[in-house]
Structure 1
Amino acid sequence: MTDDQKILLLKRYMDRTLTDQEATDFFSWYYNVSADEFHNLLQRASDGGQPLVYEEASPAFLTQLNSRLTALDNKEQGAPVRKLSRLWWAAAAAVLVLAAGTWTILKRPAAKQDIAVNKPGQDIAPGSNGAILTLADGSQITLDSLGNGQISNQHGSRVILQSGSLTYDAAGASTASYNTIRTPIARQFRLVLPDGSKVWLNAASMLKYPTAFTGTDRTVEISGEAYFEITPNAQQPFRVKIDNKATIEVLGTDFNINAYTDESSIRTTLLTGSIRVNTTGGSAVLKPGQQAAIRETIQVNNEINTGQVTAWKDGIFNFDGMGVGEVMRQLTRWYDIEVIYEKNVPDIRFYGEIGRNLSLSQVLEGLKLSGVNFRIEGRKLIVLP
């Protein structure tokens, strides 16, 4: 075949328009093509390097393509940084399908050497929806398995659980008391505050809030990570206190706060509107697309991938540009595991997205192709050199 014929077959494979004879010709060529030739023709077929999306592929093709793209990425990028392109994520590690508004991923068959697990079936399931609600009187309610309906009435403020989300109806409230909702490791939860503002809590996070906003402002406290969609009310500004280290002031906006204690800084990222970040060391007003990193001082970053920041809320791990340590911290919170490094932390960065609804070994199956190997022992994830 000529190069033009091979490129045509590549494009038709992407479009799923191969005839039976063309499919035979395509796979016959593919199984024997050199890495250099494949890379060259793939670039030409993808119109100058734009990612090609594979929606369907045979397991044999994906397995072969996986090894070729990994070798090509390693050759181009060099150790210790190996790029997992979006093409890799779409074609090699998984098939991405947009269904019911969320990304799901169908895993390719794993080779025996992919992930070492102690015993057959000892994989670790992903986290799920759930939280523990502490009422004003100190009593606790586990929300994971409760049915729909009213679960409490505190001074006229009704607390209602509906379809895995908690809602407060404060229309009849005579006074305000405080509730605390906490997500354990491997849990996340959504609630609607008494003013209609929506909050999503990531794993290992906490939110303290009043059952009715009766004062001159609306103040809540958080630790861990939360995404906010605030109902505007200029006469009653909204404030978020973060571990007694910072306060976020907002009238009406969407923003994310990452305040995990094992991260290097508190990060507040603005998606819409405007917020002011206040600390003892100063303050800063953020515009949409900016992020404030809070340490001893406030550092404002203008080049933020907001989709990556909020991916967790949409059921996705987005590992673009992340190092091994940051990725492992995310896996620790979502899978309730302990991460152990057999030697030093590998100096490698990952690129790509994968669903948070996958088991741990399925996620690791993709990560290992960046040059990092793993072993699962019980609830311990051992990162190998």
Structure 2
Amino acid sequence: MNDDQKILLIKRYMDRTLTDQEESDFFTWYHDVSAEEFHQLVQRAADDGLPLVYEEASPAFLTQLSDRLTAMDNEQKGGTVRKISRLWWAAAAVLVLAAGTWVVLQRPTLRQEVTVNIPVQDIAPGRNGAVLTLADGSQVTLDSLGNGQIGNQNGSRLILQNGSLKYDAANAATASYNTIHTPASRQFKLVLPDGSAVWLNAESAIRYPTAFNGADRTVEISGEAYFEVVPDATRPFRVKIDNKATIDVLGTDFNINAYKDELSIRATLLSGRVKVNTTSGEAVLQPGQQAAIRETIQVNNQINTGQVTAWKDGIFNFDELGVEEVMRQLARWYDIEVVYEKNVPDIRFYGEIGRNLSLSQVLEGLKLSGVNFRIEEDKRLVVLP
């Protein structure tokens, strides 16, 4: 194939119009192409009008590419030597094409070709799932159920559909309270009785009524959650965070990171308008701003909102993050214990990688920045000096 034909395949791959033969040609070429050539052709495709479709970088889309390339690289299995480069591209490829740039974990060079040992004790990525606690205290493991109605609480129907839980409160007589908790290595989507959507990251929880019958719509969270709130000027939406802060909303999109092991509670506004309230004061946020809540509220205007919400789209965004912050994200998603053999390396990472990859595959990319790791038994990750 000449370069024009390769660029055409890249474009058609992005808009999913490849024929069977073109798909075969694309994966065959993609499997063997060098990093430099691929980078150059992506840049040319972007210059020729490659559509910017970041939203296409869904976990399912990334998994499809990863699975195809894994099969092609799978001549050697089970803890033996294999190439990680194609697997790494599989997680980053859609982001590369969508942004028109080369996604790497090391600047300023292109991604390197590396041959690695995949340890026997590799750890699979997290997945969709959660535990629902009903008003009577009984618990339901949601990732073990199929689609359909799974309960009825005072007239509110609980419907599980394609991995998310929805409440139909049209015939609700009274409201009771439910809680959804995501263990480590799980995430989950909830649709509240008013139609507002909530995505829970790993090790997070939300408590909410089964019907919004009062003057406001109040929920309580811990951990990390992304909200898309349905506007209702007559009933403000309110989020309580670990008895430390409250966010008042009319209708907007925002993310809250309130993990106990983070330095501060962070509320980031994507669209609309919210007011952050604490015992020490309040702040009104505009889109693109973030409130960091400690003893006081500090508003930051220089926020990469794509990085904040990357987890919801199935991506780790490690751009300019230090080792400890990255390790906290990995610990939640892979349900691992992280220990440091000596001091914490003074290194910052760059780039993005899919959350659908195994732990060892993610670590291989991080190694390009000069940090080494060892996976031990009992899901223990040792960070080496």
TM-score (norm 2): 0.74
Describe the shift of the 1:339–1:238 C-alpha distance in structure 2 as closer, same or farther (beyond 3 A): same
Residue 16 of structure 1 deviates from its aligned partner by 8.9
Partner of 2:350: 351
Distance 1:94 1:327 in 2: 20
Deviation by residue 1:249-298 (Cα, 9 ceiling, x = unmatched): 00000000000000000000000000000000100000000000000000
Residue 320 of structure 1 deviates from its aligned partner by 0.4
Residue 145 of structure 1 deviates from its aligned partner by 1.5
Residue 97 of structure 1 deviates from its aligned partner by 3.1
SS in 2 for 1:288: coil
Describe the shift of the 1:46–1:194 C-alpha distance in structure 2 as closer, same or farther (beyond 3 A): closer
Partner of 1:306: 305
Distance 1:108 1:313 in 2: 28
Deviation by residue 1:305-329 (Cα, 9 ceiling, x = unmatched): 0000000000000000100000000
Residue identity opposite 1:374 in structure 2: F
Partner of 2:94: 98
Does the 8 A contact of 1:93 with 1:108 survive in 2? no
- 2:115 corresponds, among 107, 111, 114, to 111
TM-score (norm 1): 0.74
Residue 225 of structure 1 deviates from its aligned partner by 0.2
Q: Root-mean-square deviation (CA), in Å?
A: 3.3
Deviation by residue 1:139-166 (Cα, 9 ceiling, x = unmatched): 1000012011111101101101011010
Does the 8 A contact of 2:372 with 2:384 survive in 1? yes
Distance 1:286 1:321 in 2: 24
Partner of 1:64: none
Distance 1:352 1:201 in 2: 23
Partner of 1:275: 274
Distance 1:331 1:92 in 2: 18
Determine whether 1:143 maps to 2:148: no
Does the 8 A contact of 2:87 with 2:361 survive in 1? no
Distance 1:102 1:178 in 2: 41
Partner of 1:181: 180
Describe the shift of the 1:93–1:108 C-alpha distance in structure 2 as closer, same or farther (beyond 3 A): farther
Structure-to-structure mapping, 1:167-316, within 5 angstroms: 167-316=166-315
Distance 2:324 2:274 in 1: 30
Distance 1:283 1:123 in 2: 46
Deviation by residue 1:136-195 (Cα, 9 ceiling, x = unmatched): 111100001201111110110110101101000000001000000000000000010000
How many corresponding residue pairs? 309
Distance 1:320 1:182 in 2: 28
Structure-to-structure mapping, 1:336-347, within 5 angstroms: 336-347=335-346
Residue 12 of structure 1 deviates from its aligned partner by 8.2
Residue 109 of structure 1 deviates from its aligned partner by 7.9
Distance 1:258 1:284 in 2: 17
Distance 2:224 2:365 in 1: 25
Partner of 2:319: 320
Percent identity between the two aligned chains: 71
Residue 94 of structure 1 deviates from its aligned partner by 2.4
Partner of 2:384: 384
Distance 1:90 1:249 in 2: 46
Larger radius of gyration: 1
Distance 2:171 2:286 in 1: 37
Does the 8 A contact of 2:337 with 2:381 survive in 1? yes
SS in 2 for 1:370: coil
Residue 232 of structure 1 deviates from its aligned partner by 0.4
Residue identity opposite 2:115 in structure 1: A
Residue identity opposite 2:350 in structure 1: Y
Deviation by residue 1:320-348 (Cα, 9 ceiling, x = unmatched): 01000000000000000000100000010
